[in-house]
């Protein structure tokens, strides 16, 4: 009769744990990073006598909880980390390349269209070189091109500063994840596998790994008690309960550099949000360099063209522009009488007639600007396509993982009813055993 009490008690205890697991699944159905829990039960060993000649033939021990299982698939988890890493890179590059295209400004107030307007004003002036209003308009259009160079340079510098700021935020997130993983590793080494606490630690570990891999292309391996081992660029970042932090710096040209906290230089990240920021920073730095080159060429070409002409007074044309970079470019002449529109032979519009051959055409600033804009547009279009692909792949990976680790409320509700019935049946065994004992005791 005592077996009935043991069996009934073991059943209620085991099914109570099973119901608790289902309740936790339902409560965390929408919790990000939560992996479904389930309880594994095994047959409880029968109590037997220690006598060598005694053979137990009818002892029953009931059931017992073997452990708390966490629904997960290491391959699917790694797949989500990899696709999340690619998506993080594409997302950051798309954002900042879009901003850099906006900064380059190929609209009516941008360098390209203002330069085209400048040449159109010169053509109008060539038809009436003595028209003072057209001269003023031409000087103003030259000044507006110079100002547009200034504005574009400032806008690109702002983009570089924004990338550096987001890079610092990404590094802070990485360092936080590394420190969290070290703490989780320490807790995993102390926790008992197969318990609810252990499963919760694994959820926290995977969440930290996901955040980390979204930001940086680290190498991940697992040690004792499922502890995470992290390395990057040949340097160990997390081992056991020890973590090393990273540091990022912005260079004068807008590019970024990465190092350990102790100053050890690291290679530029190739993937993840931080990798995307490094790539975007390099691209914007290239655009700023190209812009400065165009500004210097614009100053050189326009001044050379003006120097070959003659003013109304017969003097050689002076410098119209000054500056060596887009940020320092400025117009020098405001007096319309200082324009050298004549040719050396005295033709009133002779110098203006050479604008097409000296300032426009192959290798000109106007054409090089068009090439720069086209290169940026091509890169942005390919990045958008890469982002769409990365988003699709990440969605598929997450869906595949959720099919294994996610919580299905319909299934949980069905399991809850089944476990409830089993719990009630186990409780009924205890009730019947008690009633039977009471009846026996009343007979005695």
Q: Are residues 387 and 420 in the same domain?
A: no
Number of domains the chain is built from: 2
In a domain, 104, yes or no: yes
Q: Is there a single domain that holds both residue 258 and residue 325?
A: yes
Residue 56's pLDDT is what?
57
Query: What is the rounded distance in angstroms from the CA atom of residue 372 to the CA atom of residue 289?
Result: 11
Q: Are residues 195 and 316 in the same domain?
A: yes
Task: Check whether residue 325 and residue 349 sit in a common domain.
Answer: yes
Beta strands in 106-146 (DSSP E): none
Alpha-carbon gap, residue 116 to 145, rounded angstroms: 10
Residues 186 and 204 reside in one and the same domain = yes
Q: Are residues 52 and 161 both part of a single domain? A: no
Is there a single domain that holds both residue 140 and residue 85?
yes
Say if residue 378 is in the same domain as residue 360.
yes
Task: Identify the pLDDT of residue 439.
Answer: 85
Q: Please check whether residues 188 and 102 belong to one and the same domain.
A: yes
Q: Which two tokens stand for residue 440?
A: 């026996």
- Maximum CA extent, the chain: 141
Domain boundary (358, 374, 395) is at: 395
Cα–Cα distance list, 50 to 47, 54, 212 (Å):
10, 8, 56
Per-residue pLDDT, averaged over 76-81, amounts to 96
Nearest to 23 by CA among 405, 412, 402, 410: 412
Q: pLDDT value at position 376?
A: 97
Burial class (CB in 10 A: 0-12, 13-18, 19+), 169: middle
Check if the beta carbon of residue 256 is closer than 8 Å to that of residue 164.
yes
Q: What would you report as the CA-atom Rg of the chain, rounded to the nearest whole angstrom?
A: 37
Give the pLDDT band of residue 58 (cuts 50, 70, 90). low
Both tokens of residue 360? 């426009």
Rounded to two decimals, the pTM is: 0.90
**402 found inside a domain:** no
Q: What is the domain range of residue 63?
A: 2-71+407-443
Taking only the tens place, the pLDDT of each residue in 4-37 is 888 888 899 999 999 999 999 999 999 988 999 9
Could you tell me which residues come within 8 angstroms of residue 402 by beta carbon, excluding any fewer than 6 positions away? none
Averaged pLDDT, 406-420? 93
What is the percent of the chain with per-residue pLDDT over 90, rounded to a whole number?
Answer: 86
Cα–Cα distance for residue pair 442/444, rounded to 1 Å: 5
In which element (H, E) is residue 127 found?
Answer: helix 111-127
Torsion on CA atoms 302, 303, 308, 312, rounded to nearest 10:
100
Q: Which of 78, 304, 51, 24 minimizes the C-alpha distance to 213?
A: 78
pLDDT tens, residue by residue, 160-210: 999 999 999 999 999 999 999 999 999 999 999 999 999 999 999 999 999
Do 140 and 279 lie in one domain? The reply is yes
In a domain, 65, yes or no: yes
Q: Which residue has the tokens 């995470």?
A: 228
Do residues 302 and 197 both lie within one domain? Answer: yes
Q: What is the pLDDT of residue 358?
A: 93
Mean pLDDT, the chain, rounded, equals 93
Cα 162 to Cα 152, 155, 207, 281, 379, distances in angstroms = 15, 11, 27, 10, 20
Gap between the Cα atoms of 98 and 81, Å rounded: 26
* Residues 287 and 411 both lie in one domain: no
pLDDT-derived band at 48, boundaries 50, 70, 90: very low
DSSP state of 222: E
Give the CB-side neighbour count of residue 355, counting CA atoms within 13 A.
19
- Compute CA 196 distance to the chain's CA centroid, rounded to the nearest angstrom: 32
What local confidence, expressed as pLDDT, does residue 49 receive?
47
Render pLDDT for 105-147 as a digit per residue (tens, 0 to 9). Answer: 999 999 999 999 999 999 999 999 999 999 999 999 999 999 9
Can you spell out the DSSP letters for 100-115? HHHHH--STTSHHHHH
* Mean pLDDT value across residues 208-229: 96
């Amino acid at each position: 009769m005592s077996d009935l009490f043991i069996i009934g008690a073991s059943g209620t205890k085991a099914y109570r744990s099973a119901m608790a697991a289902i309740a936790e699944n339902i409560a965390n159905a929408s919790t990000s990073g939560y992996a479904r829990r389930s309880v594994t039960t095994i047959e409880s060993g029968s109590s037997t006598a220690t006598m060598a000649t005694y053979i137990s033939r009818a002892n029953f021990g009931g059931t017992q909880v073997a452990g708390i299982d966490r629904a997960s698939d290491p391959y699917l988890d790694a797949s989500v980390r990899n696709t999340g890493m690619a998506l993080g890179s594409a997302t950051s590059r798309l954002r900042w390349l879009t901003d850099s295209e906006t900064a380059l400004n190929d609209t009516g107030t941008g360098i390209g269209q203002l330069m085209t307007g400048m040449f159109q004003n010169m053509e109008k002036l060539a038809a009436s070189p003595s028209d003072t209003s057209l001269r003023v308009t031409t000087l103003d259009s030259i000044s507006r091109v110079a100002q547009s160079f200034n504005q574009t340079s400032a806008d690109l510098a702002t983009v570089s500063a924004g990338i550096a700021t987001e890079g610092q935020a990404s590094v802070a997130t990485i360092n936080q994840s590394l420190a969290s993983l070290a703490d989780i590793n320490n807790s995993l080494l102390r926790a008992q596998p197969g318990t609810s606490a252990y499963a919760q630690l694994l959820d926290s570990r995977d969440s930290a790994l996901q955040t980390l891999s979204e930001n940086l292309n680290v190498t991940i391996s697992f040690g004792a008690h499922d502890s995470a081992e992290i390395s990057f660029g040949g340097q160990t970042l997390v081992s056991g309960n020890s973590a090393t932090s990273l540091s990022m710096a912005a260079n004068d040209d807008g590019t970024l550099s990465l190092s350990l906290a102790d100053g050890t230089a690291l290679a530029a990240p190739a993937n993840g949000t931080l990798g995307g920021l490094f790539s975007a920073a390099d691209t914007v730095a290239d655009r700023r360099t190209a812009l400065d080159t165009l500004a210097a060429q614009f100053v050189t070409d326009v001044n050379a063209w003006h120097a070959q002409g003659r003013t109304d007074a017969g003097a050689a044309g002076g410098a119209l522009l000054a500056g060596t970079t887009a940020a320092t470019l400025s117009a020098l002449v405001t007096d319309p009488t200082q324009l050298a529109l004549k040719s050396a032979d005295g033709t009133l519009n002779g110098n203006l007639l050479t604008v097409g051959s000296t300032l426009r055409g192959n290798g000109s600033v106007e054409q090089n600007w068009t090439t720069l804009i086209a290169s940026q547009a091509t890169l942005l279009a390919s990045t958008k396509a890469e982002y769409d692909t990365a988003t699709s792949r990440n969605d598929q990976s997450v869906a595949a993982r959720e099919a294994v680790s996610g919580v299905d409320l319909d299934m949980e509700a069905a399991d809850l009813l089944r476990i409830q019935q089993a719990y009630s049946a186990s409780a009924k065994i205890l009730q019947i055993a008690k009633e039977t004992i009471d009846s026996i005791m009343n007979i005695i």
